[in-house]
A and B are shown apart, each in its own frame.
Chain A
């Protein structure tokens, strides 16, 4: 068993310290694999005179040249032959172009181990069937976006009694079917089985706000959940305070805060980040986050905002070992009441947005005043 598979089988999913040595070895293994099998990746590492064989500590891992997601939108980097690229996923293309990332059998099995472990920790698994309402696209052969795939993927945490998609695939493209969603909600509220919603936070919020304005309220069966994924994307300015969102969910669907779960991930870094009961995104053992100073790219101490660099050895078919996102974030290392020991990542905005809507305490001043 390789280091990567051992890492993805690691049981204590938030034991950063205990898994550190294994993480370093797995990163080395992954980096060497891509260096040897992807010409484009080798050229990048060579440009920085970086030798993956020399990785021996976490400090070395931090030095692996990162690839901006921007680069992946223009360059198709693959490390396994086409026939082994079993799943191809593309980013949802908020600003036009899309990254292409593929998964081979090894990645899928490692990923499945991660999903099982994360689902177990966060009690997402259930043998009781649930009614799924998905605020997203109905997946088709032509829709390769990872968002539509992961949304469908989440419907396997519990057996599906039914699946209703808000964006229905019709002959004239995707169409938002509000009425169908409301009908499905009404039906679910009368069912004995729990309901689970899955979707972009912004869409979920807009729907609930609309329902509230129209005076529509349901009492969802016990065990029902609201799950959110995909980030707020272009809706940063509409970003609502989480507390307001939770009270809206309670008011409209009668679902308690501890049954609202948010996921975070990116097609270029498909690690399942799941928020804890305090709604913090703890970094699981499969991943590490380095927050970098935009002026120097050097790692910043915890608590300071900067560019979000994500690292994982999971991806075997595409060299996304270390990627630089378009996000700005803060890594928090203070103790979390939920008990998870790993630091948690807070995304505070996107690069290139002048007015960053920030919820990080103290970050605001820092952002305005630069490093002084």
Chain B
């Protein structure tokens, strides 16, 4: 499906529309039309309220089921798009006040211009969300749909345009496959920046496709972990296990594994054992993962056991969830779906995390001592972690919060300085 100036077209019109795009795309700019933030907020607010009222249950229900989230959690997500939340977000991220500097020039925020969004397919609402952020900063947005898009993005964006028709020539959606590099290059050439969501491969591909005068803004895959002191409470471990089960370790902010703040194998094994009981309990309380995933887990854990003589890993597993105890201290992706690694990393070695640079995102710090929490949080911030939370808050969403340590709306803006003629 294609969305072009508010109209939905079949994919068969794609070539024709791509040819027309260079003439139409810059129309708002050449006509001096700006997108007012309040217009975008108003459209989002209307849509969010309808979503919460169940107007789109035929698409939101499968989403809720697929991600195994409660309707309360879902409403929290939808609430992020209400007027109140978006106004707050903009007040933090956008510095819209025009400043007069030394009485001789003005300093003002402008949108970057045109953004090409290349979104990952793992979260259905993400492509539309990325476009909304582009709109809030006042940009014209081109969205390249991810493979296997369910049609949700076009649906949501169409509704947004219905609510505020002036948005229509600020949104374009194309269904160009990732392999069609020629057309993606064409789209990138027309854009001021490529906003890419996804793993290293996606980011690398975007870099090779964009010219040097096209910015790359990447929201790449991140790794998050828990930093656990042996003095932490069982309640903390329980909350951590619960957040792992709720997100199935799929989000950038989901905990992949646990670093135990110790040099001692004994303490590591003890934390692993305590955590495993919590994981097993949370798994049975929240219901196990889908059959296909359970089957994958079963093979993966079996394979780990076969390899354990070589790897030295110790595996604790039951009911399709596992804890893998290992002697190295590298930060890595887990097997996902409730399989958690447990490694040792004493506080004085936390500097080793620096090497992961931009991969680092969230760390939960589990300790019963507030001072230790503060000291650890500072250290983790120094090495590159951008969110430090308590056990159960790793994947919380706060309005106005930065993405991976950056304000998206600022990244989608530029500053223009204009001299005041005397």
Say whether A71 faces chain B, with CB atoms less than 8 Å apart: yes
B303 touches A367 (CB 8 A): no
Complex interface residues of chain B between 308 and 359 (CB less than 8 A to chain A): 309, 319-320
Quick one: given A70-B299, A70-B300, A324-B299, are A294 and B306 in contact (CB under 8 Å)? no
A352 touches B302 (CB 8 A): no
Q: Please name the residue on chain A nearest to B291 by beta carbon.
A: A367
Contact size range, B: 20 to 34
Say whether B374 faces chain A, with CB atoms less than 8 Å apart: no
Q: Mark A336-372, 1 if CB is under 8 A from B, else 0.
A: 0000000000000111111110000000001110100
- Partner pick for A71 among B291, B295, B296, B306, CB 8 A cutoff: B306
Q: Which residues of B contact A83 (CB under 8 A)?
A: none
Say whether A179 faces chain B, with CB atoms less than 8 Å apart: no
Complex interface residues of chain B between 59 and 86 (CB less than 8 A to chain A): 66
Q: Which residues of B contact A58 (CB under 8 A)?
A: none
Q: Which residues of B contact A70 (CB under 8 A)?
A: 299-300, 303
Q: A352 to B302, alpha carbons, bound, how many Å?
A: 15
Quick one: given A43-B309, A71-B303, are A354 and B293 in contact (CB under 8 Å)? yes
Q: Which residues of A contact B66 (CB under 8 A)?
A: 354-355
A354 touches B290 (CB 8 A): yes
Quick one: given A237-B148, A294-B320, are A368 and B306 in contact (CB under 8 Å)? no
Q: A349 to B292, alpha carbons, bound, how many Å?
A: 8
B298 touches A295 (CB 8 A): yes
Q: Which residues of B contact A353 (CB under 8 A)?
A: 292
- Partner pick for A351 among B296, B306, B319, CB 8 A cutoff: B296
Q: Which residues of B contact A67 (CB under 8 A)?
A: 306
Say whether A68 faces chain B, with CB atoms less than 8 Å apart: yes
Q: A141 to B302, alpha carbons, bound, how many Å?
A: 35
Q: A337 to B299, alpha carbons, bound, how many Å?
A: 35
Q: A55 to B145, alpha carbons, bound, how many Å?
A: 55
- Separation in Å of the A357 CB from the closest CB of chain B? 11
- Separation in Å of the A358 CB from the closest CB of chain B? 10
Q: Mark A38-71, 1 if CB is under 8 A from B, else 0.
A: 0000011001000000000000000000011011
Of the listed residues B66, B292, B307, the one surrounded by the most CB atoms of chain A closer than 10 A to its CB is B292
Q: Mark A60-100, 1 if CB is under 8 A from B, else 0.
A: 00000001101100100000000000000000000000000
Q: A328 to B294, alpha carbons, bound, how many Å?
A: 11
Say whether A320 faces chain B, with CB atoms less than 8 Å apart: no
Q: Which residues of A contact B295 (CB under 8 A)?
A: 294, 306-307, 328, 351-352
B298 touches A294 (CB 8 A): yes
A351 touches B288 (CB 8 A): no
Q: A351 to B336, alpha carbons, bound, how many Å?
A: 14
Q: A291 to B15, alpha carbons, bound, how many Å?
A: 48
Q: A353 to B292, alpha carbons, bound, how many Å?
A: 6
Q: A307 to B148, alpha carbons, bound, how many Å?
A: 26
Q: A49 to B66, alpha carbons, bound, how many Å?
A: 41
- Partner pick for B292 among A43, A351, A366, CB 8 A cutoff: A351
A297 touches B309 (CB 8 A): no
B320 touches A295 (CB 8 A): yes
B319 touches A307 (CB 8 A): no
Q: Which residues of A contact B148 (CB under 8 A)?
A: 237
B291 touches A356 (CB 8 A): yes
B299 touches A326 (CB 8 A): yes
Complex interface residues of chain A between 295 and 322 (CB less than 8 A to chain B): 295, 297, 305-307
- Partner pick for B299 among A47, A349, A351, CB 8 A cutoff: A351
- Separation in Å of the B12 CB from the closest CB of chain A? 10
B306 touches A44 (CB 8 A): yes
Q: Which residues of B contact A324 (CB under 8 A)?
A: 299, 302
Q: Which residues of A contact B303 (CB under 8 A)?
A: 68, 70-71
Q: Please name the residue on chain A nearest to B298 by beta carbon.
A: A294
Quick one: given A237-B148, A326-B299, are A295 and B294 in contact (CB under 8 Å)? yes
Q: Please name the residue on chain A nearest to B148 by beta carbon.
A: A237
- Separation in Å of the B321 CB from the closest CB of chain A? 11
Q: A297 to B298, alpha carbons, bound, how many Å?
A: 8
Q: Please name the residue on chain A nearest to B288 by beta carbon.
A: A370
Q: Please name the residue on chain B nearest to A369 by beta carbon.
A: B291
Q: Please name the residue on chain A nearest to B337 by beta carbon.
A: A352
Q: Which residues of A contact B307 (CB under 8 A)?
A: 71, 74
- Separation in Å of the B73 CB from the closest CB of chain A? 18
Q: Please name the residue on chain B nearest to A308 by beta carbon.
A: B295
Q: A370 to B291, alpha carbons, bound, how many Å?
A: 7
Of the listed residues B299, B303, B307, B309, the one surrounded by the most CB atoms of chain A closer than 10 A to its CB is B299
Of the listed residues B291, B299, B306, the one surrounded by the most CB atoms of chain A closer than 10 A to its CB is B291
Q: A243 to B288, alpha carbons, bound, how many Å?
A: 35
- Separation in Å of the A346 CB from the closest CB of chain B? 16
B298 touches A350 (CB 8 A): no
Q: Which residues of A contact B294 (CB under 8 A)?
A: 294-295
A350 touches B292 (CB 8 A): yes
Q: A68-B302, A70-B303, A351-B292 are in contact. List 7 more A-B contacts (CB 8 A).
A: A70-B300, A294-B295, A294-B299, A324-B299, A328-B295, A351-B295, A354-B290
What are 5 residue pairs bridging A and B, where the CB atoms are less than 8 Å apart in the complex?
Answer: A237-B148, A351-B293, A352-B296, A367-B292, A370-B288
Pairs of residues from A and B, 7 with the lowest C-beta to C-beta distance, nearest first? A352-B296, A351-B295, A294-B295, A351-B296, A294-B298, A367-B291, A353-B292
